[in-house]
Each structure stands twice: as C-alpha cells, then as structure tokens.
Chain A
C-alpha cells in the first residue's frame, strides 16, 4: 500500500482529518523550502502539497501567483523540485504530492517525469488544468509508476460527472470548496458541508477539501465531514510577512519557518474532531 492510502487508513482509525499544507517550492528560495518541509512535518502536517511554479497559473489567486513568481525569479525548475523531494525522502516518510500546471510536465516528458517522480519519492500529482477528459495520457504513466493522480471535483460538477471523476481519481478526491480560484476567504460558502457530503456519497476514497480555507475555526468546522483539509494561500500569507527582497531576488527573514510551523500546528489541532 502506498503512503497516501496508509495515511488515510491510520487517520480514519484515529478519527481525525488530514491536515495538508501547500507551499510553493522555491518560495522564497529552495533552502527555505527544504527547512519548511522539516518544520511542517514536525508541526503535524499529515501530507504535504508541494507546488512547482508556472508562469501562467490560471487557477490561482494573487497569493499563490506571487509565490510562483518569486520561485521563478529564483530560477526554480521541475528538476530542482524533484531533487528536493529526493533529498527530503532520505529521512522522511510523509506523503508528498506535487501540484502544478500541465505544460511543464508535458515538456519534461510524461514518461520521464513519472519515472523521475517515482524514484524521487513523490506520491502523487495534482494538476489543476488537467480535467478527466484530458488526463488519460498522464494517468497511464502515473499508474504505471505508482503515482497517484488526484482529480478535482467542483461545486459546479454535476452528480453523474462527479461519479466518473471519483472512480478515476487516485489517492483522494480533491473537492474545490468554492466556485473560484485559490486564495484565503473570510467566509466559506454556506453550502460547503453539503457539497463535501455530496462528494463523499460518490466514492469510498477519501475526500479532501481545499481553496480558501484560512483559519483553525474553518478547519474544525470541516474536519468532521472531510477526510482532509488543504490550506495554501493562508499559509503563504503567514510566510510573506517574513519574506525579504533585494536586487538579487527573495529570501526568508528571521521567524519565517517557525511561524509557518506554529500556524500549521494550530490548524492541525483543529482537525482532531472527536476529542
């Protein structure tokens, strides 16, 4: 059984939801990302969604766009991200899912990427611009190399389609909490819990929910209904307070890693719903 499936099995027994922080590799620089991976795991993250940058992230709001730009400014490539995972994998077993847009993977070569990702210890991929209808070629490669390609379902997805997506996704189903792009929101849509239950009703696979979730309160509201909760923009905003820029690029100021850890710890605590 792979690391993602093992994780959800363990968490179901423990009656808690997975806390899945999202960060962009290379934001503000690779050394910080490496330190963050360690820190997030220590802080209680159950799975890490590691983004790689793209010049045109059309499903992302301003916060993740900016993270992507900072990373590109530092010259981050897909190869660098795989190397980073490989280094981290020598001493950690936390599941890691890579998130990014299709074109960089396509240019890397689907077969080559699947092979390299698997040997680096990547457990899955999340590709926001690769819906079910276009995912065939990548899913075949991913399946052949034991990589879970995680598909999205959205509030706009009709039931029959949702069923088809749920049967094709691997690892978990990513339920998009809002009709919109990524980015922290003060309020989540009133029908979100209903949406998560609708998704849960279509599949035995875990359903994780993300987009716009920013606070421990929101996490504890969702934890009883969802198998996992993904927090991206809100975490990056915590980091942004400590990011320093100069002519040569970006770097982290004091406190970035610690504060990111503290924030993730507070989110993780909110996932333990039956205690």
Chain B
C-alpha cells in the first residue's frame, strides 16, 4: 500500500442527536434538513421559487405521466439501464477481488449527469419555464443540460469558470453544438464554485422565466433531494443486477465524490444494507497537507455555502478556499449535505486520492479492461487497491464508473508527454 494513495483524518465529533444518523435513510425533513445539514440559505428573492419548485417536484413525482415520460426518455435516449461489467483482468491485477463496474460511462453524453438533467428539464418544462441555466465544471453537466434542452426545445445558457473553459475546450464546443450559450466566469477562482455563484445571480434576476439546473446534490432544498432522486436510478439498477449476477449484495461500493451526485445515486439504494461498506472517494489533489486539494469531507468543517449547510473547505474566518484537482468535476470546496450527515453518522467512509494515484487508476483501467475512465471516476478506481487489501481475495466490489475519459485524454497526454521530456 502506497502512503500517498489514501489518507483519512480522525472525524470531527458531532453529537449523535444532531448528526442525522437516524434521518439518513429517510431523506430530508420538511425544512430540507439531513440532521443539521442542508436547509435553504438563499436570498429572499429565491425563497418563493424554491417553494414552488419543491411543490412542483413533489407533484411530478406522484404523477404517473411524468414518471412514464421520464423513464421512456431514460430508456430510449439515454440508454438505460446501463450494463454492469465484471472487470476480470482488473480484479486479478488487484490480487483476486471481483470488481463490477456500473457503466454510467455508456450513457448518452458519457456521464451520469444526464440522468439528472433529463429529469430537471422535464420538470422545468412542466412548470412552464422557458429558459434553462446551469453551471458546469468539467463540462459534463453543461453538456448534459444542453443536450436535454436540445431534446426538449428549451433555451440554455451555461456558466463555466474561465479556467475550466480552457481545460475542457471539447465540452465547450459540444455545448455550443447543442445550441447552448457558454458564459465564461471571470470572478473569484474562475472554476466551478464561481460558476455556481454566477448561475445563482442569474437565477435571482430571471426567476420568473428561468429554471436553474444544479448539477449535483448540492445547493438549497429541494435540490439535494431532487438530484439524488433522479440519480438513484443508478443504485436501483445496480442492486437488482448484482443480486442477479452474484446472488448476494456486494461487500463494498466505491464512488468518487465531487458534489456527490453519482455517489448518492449509487449509495442510496444500499444505505439500509448495513453489511455493505460504502466508500466515497474525494480528490486529494497535490496532497492533503497542501492547500491544493478538494477533500471537503476528509479535511473540511461544517459551514454554509451556495444555500446549504454542509462540510466546506474554509479558513478560520469562514472564507471559502479554492479547491484543486486534476479532475475538474471534483474541483469544488463544498459537498452535498446528505454526504455530511452520512459521514457524521459513520454510514459512509470518505477517503481521498491524490492526482498521481488518480492517474495510475486512469491507466490501470485503460490497460486491464480497455475502458478509459473519466479522471473523476479514476479516483474511485485508484482506491480499489486499498479496498482489495482490506477485503481480501474473493470480495465483491461495485464501482460506479461515473463517466468516460474522452474529455480527459488531452490532459493526461499532456502530463505523460511532459514527463517523457524531463
């Protein structure tokens, strides 16, 4: 086991009655709280819209027509259910564990993000909204939103940090091809956090016509609930399929955590299965002892950002720190509130994997299985080594392969070529 692969810190102690331990399987309360986390810390202008969204969402969820329309789009357009692939050569390379990959990389547009955007855009249309806005980091959520808008005929604008527009040119072009307008954000750190600020500012201004499609289980209530619901199809499919294939529940489930939507998506169906280990993998960037990482749950502390109470990367004065990861989709100094509750009550273990290890995971999956993972998902792959060590041969591990790596090939090629020269 390499020291740099996975690091954890002792958890901060939060009293059990506040941690939401008993709430986590039941989801948020009426105020959108998972224990002490969640809530709606937004300007008053947005409050009525959030309430309207909440009731529209609840009504849609009860409506058979909505559910049927959603599932037919997921089947015929997104390509669901996605397969589960047993990664045999990878399992051997890891000392004889059995690894099953949930193939969200095979969805239309190449990442789990589309499950959420189809659901939200369908809802927005039902609410009579004519304009969609979104933020994006890696560009995957932006592409998925632009795609859903093209499909359903709504206009779409996507905020993206200036730095990310440079790192992810291909996705900028994909959004534009789908008819969306990409708006580069120059404020603050010019990454995902600032793109969210800008999207919220737009939403406050255009609240009457516009729906804001948030890309992860973050933000004010009802977003963490709604995005989790739209993503939980991943875990429902995976649970049924793995039972069919192996006759039992897996020993562990691994997913990467940026805002936490693919992780919540696969965890949700398994949270009540106490025997199944759930592991969320954050980005340790250049190392947890530097300021260049995105390990919010592993290293952060509770606070309020983007409308929700959750773990954050912040200084002692409550100013939000910049995050860093080679994987732009993990580059966020906050995390979904439900993850904070799941951490405090101990149901999910959160670890962090650094840029180097993620690169090794990226290559390992490519070489052993011919599957190029997104750099985000490669963080989860990198953690398998430790899991294999802990669980031993024969263990069954389910990994959420949240996206495919086409978007990252140029980044990785640049790094590897740079090394050859020196």
Contact residues of A with B, CB < 8 Å?
54-62, 65, 69, 72, 77-78, 101-108, 128-134, 151-158, 161, 165, 176, 179-181
- Alpha-carbon distance between A106 and B200 when the two chains are bound, in angstroms: 21
- Alpha-carbon distance between A154 and B41 when the two chains are bound, in angstroms: 15
The verdict on A107 contacting B316 (CB below 8 Å), with A58-B197, A58-B200 known, is: yes
- Alpha-carbon distance between A165 and B43 when the two chains are bound, in angstroms: 13
> Which residues in A have their C-beta under 8 angstroms from that of B303?
103, 106-107
The verdict on A129 contacting B45 (CB below 8 Å), with A77-B317, A179-B204, A181-B205 known, is: no
Listed A/B pairs (27) with beta-carbon separation below 8 Å: A56-B194, A58-B306, A62-B187, A102-B41, A102-B304, A103-B305, A103-B314, A104-B317, A104-B319, A105-B318, A106-B303, A106-B318, A129-B307, A133-B39, A134-B39, A151-B44, A152-B45, A154-B43, A154-B44, A154-B45, A156-B45, A156-B207, A161-B48, A179-B205, A179-B208, A180-B205, A181-B201
Q: Check A129 against B31 for contact (C-beta < 8 Å).
A: no
- Alpha-carbon distance between A81 and B60 when the two chains are bound, in angstroms: 48
Q: Check A133 against B48 for contact (C-beta < 8 Å).
A: no
Q: Mark B310-324, 1 if CB is under 8 A from A, else 0.
A: 001010111110000
Q: A156-B47, A179-B208 are in contact. List 4 more A-B contacts (CB 8 A).
A: A62-B187, A72-B319, A104-B319, A129-B42
The verdict on A56 contacting B305 (CB below 8 Å), with A107-B314, A131-B43, A133-B47 known, is: yes
A56 CB contact (under 8 Å) in B46, B47, B197:
B197
* CB closest residue in chain A, given B307: A129
> Which residues in A have their C-beta under 8 angstroms from that of B312?
103
> Which residues in A have their C-beta under 8 angstroms from that of B193?
56
Q: Check A104 against B307 for contact (C-beta < 8 Å).
A: no
Is B23 in contact with chain A by the CB < 8 A criterion?
no
Is B363 in contact with chain A by the CB < 8 A criterion?
no
Q: From residue A122, how far is it (CB to closest CB) to chain B in Å?
A: 17
- Alpha-carbon distance between A118 and B287 when the two chains are bound, in angstroms: 42
Contact residues of B with A, CB < 8 Å?
31, 39-49, 187-188, 193-194, 197, 200-201, 204-205, 207-208, 303-307, 312, 314, 316-320
* CB closest residue in chain B, given A59: B43
Q: Check B44 against A55 for contact (C-beta < 8 Å).
A: no
Q: Check B204 against A103 for contact (C-beta < 8 Å).
A: no
> Which residues in A have their C-beta under 8 angstroms from that of B39?
133-134
> Which residues in B have their C-beta under 8 angstroms from that of A105?
318
- Alpha-carbon distance between A107 and B318 when the two chains are bound, in angstroms: 6
Q: Check B40 against A59 for contact (C-beta < 8 Å).
A: no
Q: Check A129 against B207 for contact (C-beta < 8 Å).
A: no
Q: From residue A82, how far is it (CB to closest CB) to chain B in Å?
A: 12
- Alpha-carbon distance between A38 and B306 when the two chains are bound, in angstroms: 35
The verdict on A157 contacting B48 (CB below 8 Å), with A58-B200, A102-B304 known, is: yes
- Alpha-carbon distance between A133 and B318 when the two chains are bound, in angstroms: 22
> Which residues in A have their C-beta under 8 angstroms from that of B31?
133
- Alpha-carbon distance between A129 and B317 when the two chains are bound, in angstroms: 17
* CB closest residue in chain B, given A100: B318
The verdict on A179 contacting B318 (CB below 8 Å), with A103-B304, A131-B40, A134-B39 known, is: no
Q: Check A165 against B44 for contact (C-beta < 8 Å).
A: yes
* CB closest residue in chain B, given A175: B44
A-B complex: 6 closest residue pairs judged by Cβ atoms: A107-B318, A104-B318, A180-B205, A154-B45, A152-B44, A103-B318
Q: Check A180 against B304 for contact (C-beta < 8 Å).
A: no
> Which residues in B have their C-beta under 8 angstroms from that of A69?
188
- Alpha-carbon distance between A56 and B207 when the two chains are bound, in angstroms: 20
Q: Check A176 against B45 for contact (C-beta < 8 Å).
A: yes
* CB closest residue in chain B, given A54: B319
> Which residues in B have their C-beta under 8 angstroms from that of A154?
43-45
